[in-house]
Structure 1
Amino acid sequence: MSTTPYPAASTPPPGCPAHRLYGPEAEADPMGLYEKLRAEHGAVAPVLVQGDLPAWLVLGHRENLDVARTPSRFSRDPRRWRDMQEGNVPANHPLTPMTAWQPVCHFVDGAEHERLRGALTESLERFDRRGVRRYVKRFADQLIDGIAESGRGDLVADFAEPLPMLVMTQLVGAPDSYGPRLVEAARDMIRGTETAVASNEYVTATLRELVAGKRVVPGRDFTTWMLEHPTALTDEEIVEHLRLVMIAAFESTANLVANTLRLVLTDQRFRANLSGGHMTLPDALEQVLWDEPPFTTILGRWATGDTELAGVHISAGDMLLLGLAPGNVDPQIRPDLSVPVHGNRSHLAFSSGPHECPGQDIGRAIADTGIDTLLTRLPDLELAVPEDGLRWTSSLMSRHLVALPVRFTPRGTSVTAATRAPVPPAAAPAAAPRSEERPAVRPSWWARLLGRR
């Protein structure tokens, strides 16, 4: 593993180098790297992120909760990041879309956080949960219809990835035509690639058009409810919260669906417990959220002053990453990983404290209803490749399946007028993405834009 010494402000113990959390070696086996760091450093480890910028990775479950629940010591405001203040994070840095300050609730603390978070959660709470599940059922049926007659499919490209964005596009009141490029841009942002900044700009511009349209033609949707909220949010604040909700929902829910389906297809005991009624699907989702959380780490927190965490000196302005995946397998709380924890919601998958994921129940509803619909309609699903042939791709914050090929008995479609997706409210005239930027929508566009075949 490549190493680089830390600057004096955040010096690890002598002889303990900081490991890179990016690059081929780290991406090949992130969980293996986390355990190596735990063995070398304990609950908090010095690491390097893109550009060899120093940070601390929190590996312990209790330590993750300590950081997440005490914003007075560990702020969510990236303007406190010393490397940002010193000009070490240029505008085109891969992490800029995730760390450049914006007027959004997860980048502020205290009273301002309560104001913005209140508008977000109260708008989310206006959704009829049964209505959300009906949307999920309709879109899940459409996606299943796309592969039903062939008897084969890829449950990542054909189901897990398109389903959350189809649902979220509907819930925010956006035209369906926004979907393809938004998915492409969202994935690019999460990966932190060289084009992440451009993808972030595209998402922001698209959402600005949506907000402008809803001011003229409101609807019964999340965007309109944010506009109507008594907090009187600015357009910029609404755009940033739409971006937060859609990007977080896309990545986290797509990974949750894919990881759960992989377990169903590869673990016979898990599938038997599920089909035999010994474990409910919601319980199964919680087990997956423990073992394979959608986000492996969360970037980031910044120390408000000099402090200690698990005996490690943290300097003011240091960046910390919440280690959700390593925290969930901390031997201090899970000495035997073979013991089931399904139904137990004390995992770190959605973080904790004042910045805990506000839309987690919608994500659970999408995953629960979508998977239930799939397994009901295609009960004889089986993996079409050897289990050891499955591949993953990893980034600083997440790890996801590249593909999940399956086969099943071909059957007819079920699309009727009742299962077709509802037509979204018409938006006011606004500049749509240029035609040359938007791929033609043909039957397999989800597979093509995500590089799947």
Structure 2
Amino acid sequence: MTISDHASGRAPHGAPIDTDDPRIPLYVPEFAVDPHSAYREMRERYGPLVPVDVAPGVPATLVIGYYTALRIFNDPDHFPADPRIWQRTIPSDCPVLPLMQWRPNARRNDGTTHARYRQAIVAGLAEVDPYGLHETVAQAAVPLINSFCGDGSADLVRQYVFPLTFAALNAVLGCPAEIAQRAAAGMAAMFEGVGAEDGARELMESLLELVALKRHAPGDDVTTRILRHPSALTEPEIVNQVATLYGAGIEPLQNLIVNALRLILTDEQFGDSALDGSLSTRDALDQVLFNDPPMANFCFTFPKQPVLIDDCWLPAHQPVVISMAACNTDPVIGSSRLTGNRAHLAFGGGPHVCPASSLAYLIAQDAIDQLLDGLPEIRLGVPPADLTWRAGAFHRALTALPVVFPPSPPLTPV
């Protein structure tokens, strides 16, 4: 769709994917360096709907308008989550297929099937003890901090945030470390789009072992509760619900914590306030969920038939991707968000809104508070401009977060 078409209100069939303008690649390193500038340019050129490629030769419509996204989130009849017709045309080795393809889980289904899957997940999460989770995070955080507190420097991604989120998620799901390591490696390959097909296989095989283990040795964990839920999910269905939670609990949660720490350590106005206690860690998390959400472009729908929205015809069976990052910074919703505003779309919306947002907040807040309490003089170890972002169409993730601090004695174990 051309700029003049959008301005004049014409609605060309198949726009914006079938535009004469080049599609914008979301997977290239250049996009990861400064996506917010890219979103501003998209908005000026296209309005709320943008032609993009999520992988080489894989077109999609990126939604960058806040209210347009809300309409799509809340209209699963016209914007269903089932990609099965679309994926027939996608090569099996496509790097984004393992993340986008149909699976028997809540994320990729609608209606009664979605409700059945989601009820099992919600019931499993509802019984997670928040006080026990506080203790789990503390028990993981203190040894990790002690492993580098005497060095005076660390990479928080590798040495703190990933192993902490890994430990917390394994406790929630009741997953032994050996199985969890293979699952995490498979999930990372899927998000990176490198060896994604093999990564998806490794993830599912490892979680199949977890479900088999819980049948023989049930525990007080989410996996066991999903397995025992009255909806009587089949083995593949159980594995896929657990895989959905694993995907939400490793990559997005790690990115949320790292991005919030980056904000605290680099933003003078916000960082000083957070470190001296005048702004809370929760405020930092909310700011990140607006401006640098851990999954920047991720909620997929696949219209069953051509749909007219915002003067554009979206073609049938082609992916429509919500840019949570761009929608949250849409000028139509204002810009005063430093504290108290939680109207972001970082956890999605509508029937598919994330059911684990409160647990994510709890783990992230505790992880950050434990670190700042243990190392109150922590500072960024490189100029902010030297921080690098991982390429990828979907996540907003740093490659590393180097920090420095005065060498400190070990903390007292919890």
TM-score, structure 2 normalization: 0.93
CA distance in 1 between partners of 2:359 and 2:219 (Å): 20
Q: Does residue 165 in structure 1 map to residue 177 in structure 2?
A: no
C-alpha distance after superposition, 1:16-60 (max 9, x if no partner)? 332222234334433322222211110001122323122110010
Once the two structures are superposed, residues 90-143 of structure 1 have per-residue CA deviations (whole angstroms, 9 ceiling, x without a partner) of 222112211221110111111111111011001100111111111011111121
CA distances 1:228-247 after superposition (whole Å, capped 9, x unpaired): 11111111111111111011
State whether structure 2 residue 409 is matched by structure 1 residue 412: yes
SS of corresponding position for 1:197: helix
Cα distance in 2 for residues equivalent to 1:255 and 1:54: 26
| Superposed displacement of residue 147, structure 1 | 0.7
- Taking the aligned partners of 1:379 and 1:53, their CA distance within structure 2 comes to 46
Answer yes or no: is the 8 Å Cα contact 2:14–2:306 preserved in 1: no
Contact 2:29–2:391 (CA under 8 A) maintained in structure 1:
no
CA offsets, 1:43-97, max 9 Å, x none?
A: 001122323122110010111111111101100111242xx24xx2122211221
- Residue 221 of structure 1 corresponds to 221
> What is the alpha-carbon distance in structure 2 between the residues aligned to residue 415 and residue 262 of structure 1?
26
Shift, 1:283, TM fit: 2.2
Matched positions, count: 402
2:34 alignment counterpart = 29
Instruction: Specify the code of the residue in structure 2 equivalent to 1:124.
Output: L
- 2:385 is aligned to 388
Quote the offset at 1:179 in angstroms.
3.8
Q: Tell me the equivalent position of 1:77.
A: 82
Letter of the structure 2 residue corresponding to residue 408 of structure 1:
F
Counterpart of 1:111, as a letter, is T
Equivalent residue for 1:430? Answer: none
Letter in 2 for 1:211: V
Cα distance in 1, alignment partners of residues 259 and 236 from structure 2:
34
Following the alignment from structure 1 to structure 2, what is the Cα–Cα distance between the partners of residues 299 and 54? 15
The equivalent of 1:286 in structure 2 is 286
Instruction: Confirm or deny that 1:130 pairs with 2:131.
Output: yes
Residue 49 in structure 1 maps to residue 64 in structure 2 = no
Query: 2:71 aligns to what?
Result: 66
- Contact 1:44–1:309 (Cα < 8 Å) also in 2: no
Counterpart CA distance in 2 for 1:350 and 1:69 is 14
TM-score by length of 1: 0.85
8 Å CA contact 2:29–2:390 kept in 1: the answer is: no
1:105-120 equivalent positions in 2, closer than 5 A: 105-120=106-121
| Letter in structure 1 aligned against 2:376 | P
- 1:285-340 CA distances to partner (integer Å, 9 max, x unpaired)? 11111111001101511112221121111122121001111111101112x4xx33
Q: 1:166·1:179 contact (CA, 8 Å) conserved in 2?
A: no
**RMSD (Å) for aligned C-alpha atoms:** 1.8
The answer to whether the 8 A contact 2:263-2:284 is kept is: no
SS of equivalent to 2:308: strand
Counterpart of 1:187? 188
Any residues of structure 2 matched to 1:34-433 within 5 Å, and which? 34-81=39-86, 84-85=87-88, 88-193=89-194, 195-334=195-334, 336=335, 339-414=336-411, 416=413, 419=414
- In structure 1, how many angstroms separate the alpha carbons of the residues matched to 2:181 and 2:236? 23
Deviation at 1:284, TM superposition (A): 2.1
Provide the rounded CA distance (Å) in 2 between the counterparts of 1:341 and 1:241.
35
Q: What's the CA shift for 1:14?
A: 6.3
Alignment partners' CA distance in 1, 2:288 and 2:28: 26
SS at match of 2:344: coil
2:50 partner SS: strand
Task: Give the AA of the match of 2:278.
Answer: H
Answer whether contact 2:29 2:392 (CA < 8 A) is retained. Answer: no
Conserved 8 A contact 1:285-1:342: no
Q: 1:49, 1:362 → 2: CA distance?
A: 29
Instruction: Report if the CA contact (8 A) 2:156-2:403 is conserved.
Output: yes
Counterpart code for 2:50: A
Deviation at 1:415, TM superposition (A): 5.4
Given the superposition, is the C-alpha separation of residues 11 and 286 from structure 1 closer, same or farther in structure 2, using an over 3 Å criterion? closer
Amino acid paired to 1:40:
R
Q: Say yes or no: does 1:10 pair with 2:11.
A: no
